[in-house]
A = this chain, B = another copy of it.
Amino acid sequence: MSDSAATNKTTYREAIREGLREALCSDSRVFLMGEDVGHYGGCFAVSRGLLEEFGAERVRDTPLAESAFVGAGIGAALGGMRPIVEIMTVNFSLLALDQIMNTAATLLHMSGGQFNVPIVIRMATGGGKQLAAQHSHSLEGWYAHIPGLTILTPATMEDARHMLGAALREPDPVLIFENQTLYPLEGDSPEPASNFDITRAAVRRPGRDATLVTYGAGLHKSLAAAETLAAEGVDVEVLDLRVLRPLDDATIIESIGKTHRALVVDDGWRSGGISAEIAARIMEQAFFELDAPVARLCGAEVPMPYSKHLELAALPQPETIAETVRKLVNKHG
């Protein structure tokens, strides 16, 4: 059942599962529903064992009907439940976008404050596993455009473990994007946490010479790049956004005040991505702090190709991140 049993090591996958288990244990209003979350054990084996533990009512396999089961999650939330709806992969969430934007994100405002929708929607996102153009996109930054939603992107064991619980305490819809490539990631078992924060970005590595603003899979690639750069004497700060909406401007701007240079690293497409918003905000709020224009390293603007070498080329990698930082720190303002 457990990927690394009886040690104090765990995996990202297990951490998510523990978060689910805790939520199901601690609140009878919570239930998990989605395609293959039960009998199959979850498309990415995240929910394996939960059906046996909590039964088919609370770990509820749905038919293939994304629009209806997301809408049903909204209705269940209105009816006093705390649904966790799993959408297998971000591309399939497009089938439920009407419910997400036109209902979940809108209802509270449209009803003049009468009906809030405490739903949590989880989905796998991101490329890197050769799943090609209909299973690999990174749309979390795109979702962050929608008022009414909170967008979370756990990248660490702690966040994988605790963001879900915090999301369930929100009165409004929260979307959690789990990067597919992180599920096997290993690390120390996170400590228990109460009042876990889901509003602030986190500095994962302090540094002086430039700020890498990133999230999700980008965090790990950025940290790897930072190691390489450190060996060359370039000391970069790595900032994990954690929350793509609402963005934590303060932490970003504070970092810029220190480093005066920033590179946004984002697996998502560049044009109109979250990378643009971050660049724009830095300019708006810290223009005169900048020694160079904010740089962006993003996913190539292509539907994700299947073959390995093209997929690698389509996404930021530690080497390309390091290379971009080198150029950035050599630019003089």
Interface, chain A (partner B; CB < 8 A): 67, 91-92, 94-95, 97-98, 101-102, 105-106, 109-110, 132-134, 141-142, 144-148, 245-247, 269, 271-277, 279-280, 283-284, 287, 290, 292-296, 301-303, 305
7 of the cross-chain contacts (CB-CB < 8 Å) are: A102-B134, A106-B134, A147-B271, A272-B277, A280-B294, A283-B294, A284-B296
Q: How many copies of the polypeptide does the oligomer hold?
A: 2
A280 CB, nearest partner CB in chain B, Å: 4
Q: A148 near B272 (CB under 8 angstroms)?
A: no
Which listed residue (B97, B132, B247) contacts A94, Cβ 8 A?
B97
A303 and B149 alpha carbons, distance in the complex (Å)? 11
A279 / chain B contacts, CB cutoff of 8 Å: 276, 279-280, 283-284
Contacts of A276 in B (CB 8 A): 272, 276-277, 279-280
Not counting A95-B97, A109-B302, A280-B294, a sample of 6 additional A-B residue pairs whose C-beta atoms are within 8 angstroms of each other reads A141-B272, A147-B269, A276-B280, A283-B293, A284-B296, A287-B290
Tell me if B303 and A293 are in contact (CB < 8 A).
Answer: no
**B residues near A290, Cβ cutoff 8 Å:** 287
What are the residues of chain B within 8 A of A102 when measuring CB–CB? 91, 94, 133-134
Task: Name A286's closest neighbour in chain B (CB-CB).
Answer: B293
- Return the contact of A284 from the options B98, B145, B295 (Cβ within 8 A): B295
CB distance from A45 to the nearest CB of B (A): 24
